[in-house]
Amino acid sequence: MVTFKGQPVTLAGTPLKVGDKMPDFTLVGNALETVSLGDTAGVRLFLAVPSLDTAVCDLEVRTFNQKVGQLGAVSVYTVSMDLPFAQKRWCAAAGIEAVKTLSDFRYRSFGQATGTLMTDIGLLARAVFVVNSAGDITYVEYVPEVGNPPDYEAAYAAVKAAQ
């Protein structure tokens, strides 16, 4: 069960588990280009967050941005419902260069595909997915309370193990 400010939320889609193939999705990049799973490769870390303009999401993305160089050959993607313009502005203001932000505002397909779309409020629940170069999910964390950060150390270990 996932909660938002202590209240249970309804998640659309099917929750993913270790061993599943990462499902395809359609997202919007900062230049309004369409991005799908096929546009990514190698070991990937996907972070689903409610909004970059909140303290916990801000800290999470900044933390992964700082650590990505220590994680080796991995691509890090943060997915939220924020508009691409807002994501681009936020990244510029926060000095985010190693993490790519993608928006699910138009299609909501990432939220549906990963079981992170909070239908009650139209945002994504906080979750972490590590995907190896074969497209297999090797680590999943659905953070039980959306307002809490993920388990950074477990995510780092999972990325290193996937390489």
Report the C-alpha gap between 42 and 128 in whole angstroms: 16
Report the C-alpha gap between 59 and 66 in whole angstroms: 11
Beta-carbon count within 10 A of 38 CB: 9
Structural tokens at position 110? 């990432």
Q: Which of 43, 57, 71, 159 is catalytic?
A: 57
Closest CA to 49 of 5, 90, 104: 104
91 is catalytic: no
User: Which residues of 9-73 form beta strands (DSSP E)?
Assistant: 11-12, 26-28, 34-36, 43-48
Backbone φ and ψ for 81, nearest 5 degrees, come out as -90, 0
Active site residues: 57
